[in-house]
Amino acid sequence: MKLFLDANVLFTAARTPLGKAALIIDCGGRGYWGLLTSSYAIEEVRRNLERKSPTSLPELVGLLRNIDIVIPSLSAPCPDNLPLKDRPIFQAAQTGAASHLLTGDLKDFGPLMNRPDLTFGIIVQTVAELLATA
């Protein structure tokens, strides 16, 4: 499995080092699955941590050591109903050949959750959903 981590997953892992999102990254670092993200997601996380939890920034740096950074192909297909702000995230997951896109963004990704028929084969899930099935 190759897991693409959305910004909110990285944010949660940095703020809660003993939580489920951090466990996903720890398991990836131990070789259970591949981990991917994008510079677009990392920049969003950095901005949010600087505003909301600046003491968590060093934790983010540590987490990123186990994650490959994908440069998205902006020509990669996207689900039609995905908002423009989320397209670079999906396209990076697509470019990195992710099997899963993990996100907590239920508002924008909710209609695509567990619907690989709508997401070009990528399984969009929350961290909890992945851990319940892994």
**Which tens digit of pLDDT belongs to each residue from 32-42?**
999 999 999 99
Handedness of CA 59, 38, 106, 115 (dihedral sign): negative
More confident residue, 112 or 134: 112
The half-sphere exposure of 59 on its side-chain side, counting CA atoms within 13 A, is 21
pLDDT in tens, 45-62: 999 999 999 999 999 999
The β-bridge relationship of strands 34-38 and 2-5 is: parallel
Closest CA to 103 of 22, 23, 15, 7: 7
- Beta-bridge partners for 21: none
What is the pTM assigned to this prediction? 0.96
Tens-digit pLDDT profile for residues 95-112 = 999 999 999 999 999 999
